Chain A
């Protein structure tokens, strides 16, 4: 038995391996990404026979894992919460059809949100799809819940959700474990049963009835599950909590000296109704703390004595931080101001700090990032009057260079572009505006393969005219450098079996396809101009430019050393700071000039063009590669 410091995601990975899960598929996305990374590390270290893959998207991950389960293997599909939207078609259907080997869907939620487009609650997706949910409150518990969830899944032949939030995924805890993993692989066989695995609408009614019956049984089981427990207290106000906010509430009750009974819910759906109603009956009123939305609260039929999000006691957006929970609890204890005495910043100190106006440090593209060069060249060529639909990845930060005008979801950029193109065309036809402006779309390699191909096909066949710029940095950079089908060098599966992005693009019927290094800024501008001219010529169609250069953070050795010097003549006009927006270019304290932060600069030499006055020059004492 040893002790190890583990991230919640690593604890979930450990749980999957301990519980003999043999097929694990994921698409990376914060805060879920480290689960499969950790599985792959352990697999490599221990030589376990299992199929683990970075799938092309979440729907694919879910379906591949489902095939594993239907063959008899314990299987899991892992993604971030918005990834479940992508996988939801399969998710809803699989709930009816059921599973064979224990099947876990693990969508990681992001209260806040810290790095997502929504704060959606995956437990509510599970409620709608009728899939049971486990909601862990610590990394250790997440590991234990993997076991309970897989066993439940097998016992009732249903897919089961393990729903960690970011505060669990990225919590770190000391975990006891011994490395004893089973070497036994269960019998693998797909038993044909077309009325289940290929169910028609007629079968689906029966399957729905069966699912409802299963949920009844599961609810009864949850009432005596060790995942749910009551901690007694003398106060008349009771607290129901689940997930990380359970720990927060428990801590604050102690700090407030508030002896409230506490019902911890580890299985928010289906809610163990009797357990909850008995708890509520013993209290004058009950407050429900849960993230990210109201899953437990919604399932309580009689909410007359229940406080929560539905009656606005708890804010309906944002993370339930200790400060938020503290205010609510001290209010219920009878002294709303008590919390400000215990839990808030000292006003004098806060005011003195605020006076200092510390500069905000929002996320930015890294020094040497090839995306920056592509955005910079694109902006120089096409300026402000061009429409720039963007997409999801590191390069959404192109917004810092005013080169991203829209961002909806994975793969949306080219669709928004098609919509813009057709709408403006209609506008012109009716004399109702719709001024003809260039449209330049940016999307990364991993996102393009995830869901960018269908929008491109659609643009070809509807004759939408725009330039699609695929920013291929040969990895999934934002989430920690996962391989993609086009760049599988680091894959655990077959590093040689790669998919060609240019060939995919050509197969869609695109005629103008160019690949170019965006570091060659002048050539890159010329190619973008040609692409635009092609797409707007009578015989033309949507044009694609592929910016080919490895991520400078992932493969720093690929950055040719081209050190620069900012000359003494620099007058601090700040053009480079705005137009090139590199973290290594910093305004001097007195604002009189721009300096190079040597610790951050990677000597890519890409900023030279951004000083029109010629004050950024190749370093005279350094040799250029």
Chain B
């Protein structure tokens, strides 16, 4: 595995937790991990963009046009950061809507795979709107390029947050089987 990932969302959505969850699951599966997080000025409501590299200790910083995968917890933030993707990459976005038609045409031209998942709605049904990030992690783990096992991700989620272990395991399950 050598994956360059951009994670984005809004401060308060749990982008950092999403990052740690995937990073730690990859680490537990034996892969080296390097990431660059964002702490400080994006506490609530601000744009958050994180860089994650799975499978290598080289620079975690991803160039424009260089990401294999874009994980977006917010539709607008996902849209804003699309140009990080390289052709043939994948975008997985938490949204109720498709991307606008003009954007979709470009994504198709670049053979970028678009996966829309309404993780917020799924999380709300699960009883906790904040669990959208874990659902997205489940969906990401199931992508062929990532292929982390569901059980590993569940174990990692449980270890990271024992209090929410049950909820997060169900959230992973939901995300993993969404497509």
Question: Is A359 located at the chain interface by the 8 A CB criterion?
Answer: yes
Please give the number of chain A residues whose Cβ is less than 8 angstroms from any Cβ of chain B in the complex: 54
Which of B10, B42, B62, B79 touches A353 (beta carbons < 8 Å)? B79
Q: Which A residues lie within 8 Å of B62 (CB)?
A: 322
Which of B10, B23, B61, B105 touches A321 (beta carbons < 8 Å)? B61
Within 8 A of B (CB), among A1-24: 3, 5, 7
Question: Is A350 located at the chain interface by the 8 A CB criterion?
Answer: yes
Please state if A344 and B64 are interface contacts (CB–CB under 8 Å): yes
Binds A, one of B81-89, B137-145, B147-155, B167-175: B81-89
Q: Which A residues lie within 8 Å of B10 (CB)?
A: 361
B91-113 CB mask vs A (1 if < 8 Å, else 0) is 00000000010110111011000
A239-264 CB mask vs B (1 if < 8 Å, else 0) is 00000100110110010000000000
Please state if B106 and A348 are interface contacts (CB–CB under 8 Å): yes
Binds B, one of A123-131, A164-172, A444-452: A164-172
Binds B, one of A65-73, A144-152, A362-370: A362-370
Please state if A322 and B76 are interface contacts (CB–CB under 8 Å): no
Question: Is A599 located at the chain interface by the 8 A CB criterion?
Answer: yes
Question: Is A391 located at the chain interface by the 8 A CB criterion?
Answer: no
Q: A171-B36, A349-B106, A353-B83 are in contact. Are A322 and B61 (CB under 8 A)?
A: yes
Which of A321, A346, A361, A479 touches B46 (beta carbons < 8 Å)? A361
Please state if A358 and B110 are interface contacts (CB–CB under 8 Å): no
Please state if A244 and B59 are interface contacts (CB–CB under 8 Å): yes
B53-85 CB mask vs A (1 if < 8 Å, else 0) is 000011111111110000000001101101111
Please state if A171 and B87 are interface contacts (CB–CB under 8 Å): no
Please state if A250 and B45 are interface contacts (CB–CB under 8 Å): no
Please state if B35 and A171 are interface contacts (CB–CB under 8 Å): yes
Please state if B57 and A600 are interface contacts (CB–CB under 8 Å): no
Which of A5, A322, A343 touches B33 (beta carbons < 8 Å)? A5
Question: Is A102 located at the chain interface by the 8 A CB criterion?
Answer: no
Complex CA distance for A171 and B19, rounded to whole angstroms: 12
Within 8 A of B (CB), among A599-614: 599-600
Q: Which A residues lie within 8 Å of B163 (CB)?
A: none
Complex CA distance for A321 and B64, rounded to whole angstroms: 10
Shortest A362–chain B CB gap in Å is 7
Please state if B27 and A174 are interface contacts (CB–CB under 8 Å): yes
Which of B24, B58, B59, B83 touches A349 (beta carbons < 8 Å)? B83
B109-142 CB mask vs A (1 if < 8 Å, else 0) is 1100000000000000000010000000000000
Question: Is A507 located at the chain interface by the 8 A CB criterion?
Answer: no
Question: Is A210 located at the chain interface by the 8 A CB criterion?
Answer: no
Complex CA distance for A363 and B11, rounded to whole angstroms: 9
Complex CA distance for A606 and B19, rounded to whole angstroms: 34
Please state if A173 and B34 are interface contacts (CB–CB under 8 Å): yes
Question: Is A209 located at the chain interface by the 8 A CB criterion?
Answer: no
Complex CA distance for A356 and B62, rounded to whole angstroms: 23
Please state if A172 and B36 are interface contacts (CB–CB under 8 Å): yes
Within 8 A of B (CB), among A327-386: 342-346, 348-350, 352-353, 355-356, 358-364, 366-367
Q: Chain B interface residue count: which class?
A: 35 or more
Complex CA distance for A248 and B66, rounded to whole angstroms: 13
Please state if A322 and B36 are interface contacts (CB–CB under 8 Å): no
User: Max chain B CB contacts within 10 Å: which of A7, A251, A352, A553?
Assistant: A352
Question: Is A326 located at the chain interface by the 8 A CB criterion?
Answer: yes
Which of B23, B57, B129 touches A5 (beta carbons < 8 Å)? B23
Please state if A323 and B105 are interface contacts (CB–CB under 8 Å): no
Please state if B61 and A248 are interface contacts (CB–CB under 8 Å): yes
Q: Which A residues lie within 8 Å of B103 (CB)?
A: 349, 352-353, 356
Please state if A346 and B83 are interface contacts (CB–CB under 8 Å): yes
Q: Which B residues lie within 8 Å of A479 (CB)?
A: 40
Please state if A250 and B58 are interface contacts (CB–CB under 8 Å): yes
Complex CA distance for A323 and B106, rounded to whole angstroms: 22
Question: Is A592 located at the chain interface by the 8 A CB criterion?
Answer: no
Q: Which B residues lie within 8 Å of A345 (CB)?
A: 64-65, 83-84
Complex CA distance for A525 and B40, rounded to whole angstroms: 31
Within 8 A of A (CB), among B5-24: 10-12, 19-20, 23-24
Closest to B46 in A: A363
Which of A3, A172, A356 touches B37 (beta carbons < 8 Å)? A172
Within 8 A of B (CB), among A561-610: 583, 599-600
Complex CA distance for A355 and B100, rounded to whole angstroms: 10
Within 8 A of B (CB), among A273-293: none
Shortest B137–chain A CB gap in Å is 14
Shortest B58–chain A CB gap in Å is 5
Please state if B59 and A366 are interface contacts (CB–CB under 8 Å): no
Please state if A3 and B27 are interface contacts (CB–CB under 8 Å): yes
Complex CA distance for A33 and B41, rounded to whole angstroms: 13
Q: Which A residues lie within 8 Å of B63 (CB)?
A: 321-323, 326, 343-344
Q: Which B residues lie within 8 Å of A353 (CB)?
A: 79-80, 82-83, 103
Q: Which B residues lie within 8 Å of A251 (CB)?
A: 58-59
Shortest B162–chain A CB gap in Å is 15
Shortest B133–chain A CB gap in Å is 13
Q: Which A residues lie within 8 Å of B46 (CB)?
A: 361-364
Please state if B106 and A359 are interface contacts (CB–CB under 8 Å): no
Shortest B97–chain A CB gap in Å is 11
Q: Which A residues lie within 8 Å of B83 (CB)?
A: 345-346, 349-350, 353
Please state if B39 and A344 are interface contacts (CB–CB under 8 Å): no
Q: Which B residues lie within 8 Å of A343 (CB)?
A: 63-66
Closest to A244 in B: B59
Please state if A170 and B39 are interface contacts (CB–CB under 8 Å): yes
Please state if B102 and A114 are interface contacts (CB–CB under 8 Å): no
Complex CA distance for A247 and B11, rounded to whole angstroms: 28
Please state if B45 and A346 are interface contacts (CB–CB under 8 Å): no
Q: Which A residues lie within 8 Å of B19 (CB)?
A: 172
Q: A171-B36, A352-B106 are in contact. Are A358 and B44 (CB under 8 A)?
A: no
Shortest A84–chain B CB gap in Å is 18
Complex CA distance for A34 and B47, rounded to whole angstroms: 21
Question: Is A478 located at the chain interface by the 8 A CB criterion?
Answer: yes
Question: Is A101 located at the chain interface by the 8 A CB criterion?
Answer: no
Q: Which A residues lie within 8 Å of B66 (CB)?
A: 322, 343
Within 8 A of B (CB), among A447-498: 478-480
Please state if A358 and B80 are interface contacts (CB–CB under 8 Å): yes
Please state if B27 and A5 are interface contacts (CB–CB under 8 Å): yes
Closest to B101 in A: A352
Q: Which B residues lie within 8 Å of A167 (CB)?
A: 36, 61
Question: Is A55 located at the chain interface by the 8 A CB criterion?
Answer: no
Question: Is A57 located at the chain interface by the 8 A CB criterion?
Answer: no
Q: Which A residues lie within 8 Å of B76 (CB)?
A: 358-359
What are 18 A-B contacts with C-beta separation under 8 Å?
A31-B40, A115-B41, A171-B36, A174-B32, A174-B33, A247-B59, A254-B58, A322-B63, A323-B63, A346-B83, A348-B109, A352-B102, A352-B103, A359-B76, A360-B47, A366-B45, A600-B12, A600-B45
The 8 lowest CB-CB distance pairs between A and B, nearest first, are A345-B83, A30-B40, A247-B59, A345-B64, A172-B35, A583-B45, A115-B40, A349-B106
Q: Give 19 A-B pairs besides A167-B61, A172-B36, A349-B85 with Cβ atoms closer than 8 angstroms.
A: A7-B37, A33-B40, A115-B40, A174-B23, A248-B59, A251-B59, A254-B58, A322-B62, A322-B66, A323-B63, A326-B63, A345-B64, A345-B84, A346-B65, A346-B106, A349-B107, A352-B105, A353-B83, A360-B47
